[in-house]
Structure 1
């Protein structure tokens, strides 16, 4: 796990600019720094040592024939298998050098063979060509900016800005996207002319030309040719899951796991203890507010599996004291993140350099409420055959009878001219609704919904795969652009590598191939629980679902009230916003308006904090 930087340009001061970029990413790789500079290219690297702790893993790396020079961030879990196919004079035991050798033999097509999380930058000296590649599920980020015949890229936006080539200018359409979804959907970012390479894509650039972006993998539904029994499905799910966990335990440093005591993290910890030869360390955040504390469930799983367990008990003051620092670790504004920052901090301080996370379980095994909600809406498409005036009236009535976020969303859905899965999903995932945004923002009109535009091309129209369509929606929007981005930037703020077994692409592809009846969550994540009963006792399966979140509503009204108030008043004065509307939204939240929950307020607080950070 590392940080990568690069500049493709004929400018003379590339070395100074690259040095600033590398220094900006020191937190991602405090153990080693490297650079390669010639007339056309400058490549930089910060290294966090995970596999092969010797200096032989130093980057940038160049092939013996001098053709390719590479910087790489991530892990290739099957590198030892690939290595056996390569006739190459290896100087290290790193996965990085295997990438270089594989590229020399197969070119960019080698990425199809990789199982892992990766952001790769490969410079071809012979062709004077740069190739950037991002892993299939978007676990590792890579940002880029191209203007005036020069391209700059990095693992983080702040390093792009440190180059002096990209500028911190708000993109107004990106701002709308952020307010809608608590993030900006790739390939856009909240900054003008700064882009995030989409998951499963590569970018090819030759100086003077326009970058060419190509897709090499996408999550898609490939129904199985033969109908298999539920028993066989359970066996295959278990085998793929255990294989994924085992792959992700390859490391030459101490490792552990985040343990919330929920189904996902409990399954991972259980599998780790079965396949690992070393004692497993687990980490849990608990709260002074018992209603938000999952500590007893995490403690139960830790005792069941005999882990070395650390419980981190937080008070509001603990969060308040470190919140400014946590928010400074946020490279791109997000409605989530400080929770991961805190647990990563304590995990790293305990001497752990790599940790496994349960992220992705909800997306694959229909763990969110949106799965059942989308099934219900999909079965009620007849609603959109009713006259528009009647549907709008139904929405207005619902909001009066049962005011709240759910009713507000249903009103928006009923106002749509017809039923389109991608658009219905996007609206269902919104935070602030378009009606609210028109009031909050000083601009005229709103852009199209980016998730709907992107997902329309991915959605299957096979009626037996509604749940898989929702999984694709979750994987490609909220998970990639909120959860994974936050997980990367907040864990790497402490030089901690986080691995996500549920996002092994072989497991993802298999789960997407399964029809709805097999995955239907009659009970919480039924297929996962049935596949791993020895890892998931009833006490965990039947516990209330709480989610890994902080008690923001309580804190924003009490201990964090002045912190939020100061930032919201500052945000309200910016040209993008209508001041009175921002302050009205804040007051409505404090008066317990059911339409204005904490998740509509906190992203605004974060946005202002991020805008003020240099």
Structure 2
């Protein structure tokens, strides 16, 4: 992306008779400033690559270099003088890094498949990770789906002593909320505008074609508005839509395209594209990931690569500036838990479960079900239960006993509680708990995983200007009352960007990026779903799932009695993943089509 002629890896660098080697995935956005500092210190450079600057920075500051970096990265540096390997991952987890430890080796890579291919490695499914995947739709924390393969967590670094292969992992960045109670909205608005403009300018640095993924929402439109001011040429924009009105944001996208006179490409994502993209995605995927929005993101990346090699997106804004519906639900949830007895809440939950399920995006019955689902849990579990499509009773019914046990569920509870271990009860039950969950769990393991993998599968680099280090530091200083006010989500961000955005975009209702799974599974994806689940529903000998229980939720979904579409999607996904990586079955031409 930067200095494509001379930035080949591994890259070697020598300084004062000392030599170092690096492999690096990502971008260092402040590399030009760092390069200037290092030149003043006597360092010489032979390329224009940010990789060389990163390695020279290690020569100068050793492991303290992490304090100076503004970027997204996963890298490994070989230091022959100290006989160590030094690995690090960026603060919020935009770039992946996995590792595994064996008796005589330590393996590391950007993907589990590289580790699995090691001759002495025998892959095994982790029962705990399987449980986490079906509960969260992704696998949070350091675990992967494979026993013995771990993620280096965001904001962590790892030092490996090559003499004896001992290693130490250290946290170098902590998401800590230190709001300034003295900052006023009159001070915060212009400061936020300046940080946004500086971030977008840094993210526009590229030696290859660059564009913007457009959703028609505040976040991506803000990036476009700033980029149009900065760039000497109009950047191409790309978007995706659905035929289903409740899920389609095309009218807002068209409003933005017209307002900014964009060079725009728009694509329709239909059930046919869903099936074709699912099969293509599965051939790449080496870890199950259950967010269905991965598929249209994957499809959009594929359509855009003939034109661009870098795409800017709005990821990170909702997590930093309070953009999700649970921020709205915290206060009424506390009132309900204070005044409504738990038995009555559970009774209401059973009563609501009898209502018919609607196809619409984020329908009223969906909101009520999820709201009550979380209210029946203690405070640390409330938010994860609001987000899950597979609460424990439903999950227990479809998993075989070998993969569902009380100790495993207790371990999952404990992991959820550890997310909030540095917060008191009032903070857990307030907006602080939401920020904590969305920034530490949902952002790295869902949003950023989706954006990076979907783009990188097509050799497209995805960048997130809202996750600029300086912008993050500033956002964490803002008090929650500026981010969420009078039940308005992202209040301070909207105030800051109001002069730049069309009125319709500024005032539009919040909408996430969803896929009409429930409607499609009852209609155009019905045959696909039934065919794709045969390995489970017609094979009681498979080790994970109760075939009859899965048949039951298939019937309930097809009849419209209950919406199990997310669970069924995850079952299909895991079944295909398992066949490919553990049974070594080549996907047939008609498989998943």
Does the Cα contact within 8 Å between 2:330 and 2:429 map onto a contact in 1? no
Q: Give CA deviations for 1:82-128 in whole Å, capped at 9, x if unaligned.
A: 11221312111111111111111111110111010000111221232
Residue 454 of structure 2 is matched in structure 1 by: 490
Q: Any conservation in 2 of the 1:327–1:338 contact (CA below 8 Å)?
A: no
Paired position in structure 2 for 1:434: 392
Counterpart of 1:459 (choices 423, 426, 437) is 423
Structure 2 residue 44 is the aligned partner of structure 1 residue 85: no
Correspondence for 2:299 among 342, 361, 364: 342
Note the C-alpha offset of 1:454: 3.5
Secondary structure, counterpart of 2:176 in structure 1 = coil
Structure 2 Cα separation of the partners of residues 118 and 63 of structure 1: 22
Bigger mean CA offset, 431-440 vs 453-462: 453-462
Counterpart selection for 2:249 from 265, 275, 294: 294
The within-5 A match list for 1:144-293 is: 144-207=99-162, 208-224=164-180, 227-293=182-248
CA distance, structure 1, for counterparts of residue 348 and residue 444 of structure 2: 35
Q: How does 1:185-584 map to 2 (within 5 A)?
A: 185-207=140-162, 208-224=164-180, 227-336=182-291, 337-350=294-307, 352-379=308-335, 382-383=338-339, 392-393=346-347, 395-396=349-350, 399=353, 409=370, 413-416=374-377, 419-420=378-379, 422-443=380-401, 444-445=405-406, 446=409, 447-449=411-413, 452-459=416-423, 466-520=430-484, 522-572=487-537, 573=539, 574-584=542-552
Give structure 1 stretches of 5+ with no counterpart. Answer: 1-49
1:97 to 47, 52, 57: 52
SS at match of 2:494: helix
Separation in 2, partners of 1:300, 1:165:
56
Measure, in 2, the Cα distance between the counterparts of 1:123 and 1:467: 42
2:23 corresponding residue in structure 1: 71
Offset at 1:503? Answer: 1.3
Change in 2 beyond 3 A, CA 1:608/1:467: same
* SS of residue in 1 equivalent to 2:3: coil
SS in 2 for 1:90: coil
Distance 2:64 2:334 in 1: 38
Distance 1:318 1:425 in 2: 33
Question: Compared with structure 1, are the counterparts of its residues 74 and 249 closer, same or farther at alpha carbon in structure 2 (3 Å cutoff)?
Answer: same
TM superposition shift of 1:299: 2.1
Determine the C-alpha separation between the residues in 2 that align with 1:56 and 1:433: 48
Residue 283 of structure 1 aligns to a residue whose secondary structure is strand
Q: How many residues align?
A: 557
Aligned equivalents of 1:427 and 1:315: distance in 2? 30
Distance, in Å, in 1 between the alignment partners of 2:254 and 2:447 is 25
Deviations 1:255-301 (CA, angstroms, capped at 9, x unpaired): 00001111111111111111112321100112333443322321221
DSSP-derived class of the 2:455 partner: helix
Residues 464 and 144 (structure 1), Cα distance of their counterparts in 2 relative to 1, 3 Å cut: closer
The equivalent residue for 2:585 is none
Q: Which deviations, in whole Å up to 9, do the C-alpha atoms of 1:469-506 show, x marking residues without a partner?
A: 31221122122111211211111111000000111232
Separation of aligned partners in 2, 1:463 and 1:484:
25
**Kept after mapping to 2: 8 A contact 1:72/1:120:** yes
- Deviation track 1:581-608 (CA, whole Å, cap 9, x = no partner) reads 12212221222234x3422321222111
Check 1:108–1:600 CA distance in 2 against 1; reply closer, same or farther (3 A cut): same
Aligned match of 1:46: none
Which one is further off, 446-455 or 200-209? 446-455
- Whole-Å Cα distance in 2 between the matches of residues 58 and 509 of structure 1? 31
Distance 1:318 1:576, change over 3 A: closer
Cα distance in 2, alignment partners of residues 242 and 450 from structure 1? 41
Deviates more, 1:505-514 or 1:464-473: 464-473
Residue in structure 2 matched with residue 592 of structure 1 by the alignment = 560
Question: Structure 1 residues 451, 519: CA separation in 2 closer, same or farther (over 3 Å shift)?
Answer: farther
Q: What is the distance in 2 between the residues matched to 1:63 and 1:454? A: 43
| Cross-structure match for 1:142 | 97
Match of 1:609 among 551, 567, 576: 576
Contact 1:77/1:247 (<8 A) preserved? yes
SS in 1 for 2:300: helix
- Of 99-108 and 126-135, deviating more is 126-135
Q: Is the 8 A contact 1:557 1:590 kept in 2?
A: yes
Answer 1 or 2: higher relative contact order, Cα 8 Å, separation at least 6: 2
468 and 239 in structure 1: CA distance in 2 versus 1, 3 angstrom threshold: farther
The alpha-carbon deviation at position 461 of structure 1 amounts to 6.2
Q: For 1:161-215, what per-residue CA distance to the aligned partner results, in whole angstroms no more than 9, with x for missing partners?
A: 1223443311000000000000101201111111111100111222444432111
The separation in 2 between residues aligned to 1:361 and 1:194, in whole angstroms, is: 30
CA distance in 2, matches of 1:82, 1:193: 37
Alpha-carbon separation, structure 1, partners of 2:272 and 2:497: 39
Q: Does 1:107 align with 2:62?
A: yes
Q: Secondary structure at the match of 1:341?
A: helix
1:339 positional shift: 1.3
Note the alpha carbon deviations across 1:216-256, whole angstroms, 9 max, x for none.
101111121x5122121111221111111111001111100
Give the whole-Å Cα distance in 2 for the aligned partners of 1:310 and 1:252. Answer: 22
Distance 1:517 1:543 in 2: 21
RMSD (Å) for aligned C-alpha atoms? 2.5
Q: CA deviation at 1:70?
A: 1.0
Q: Give, in whole Å, the separation in 1 of the partners of 2:263 and 2:349.
A: 52
Shift of 1:406: 5.0
**Contact 1:568 1:583 (8 Å CA) reproduced:** no
Separation in 2 of the partners of 1:390 and 1:298?
A: 44
TM-score (norm 2): 0.88
SS in 1 for 2:499: coil
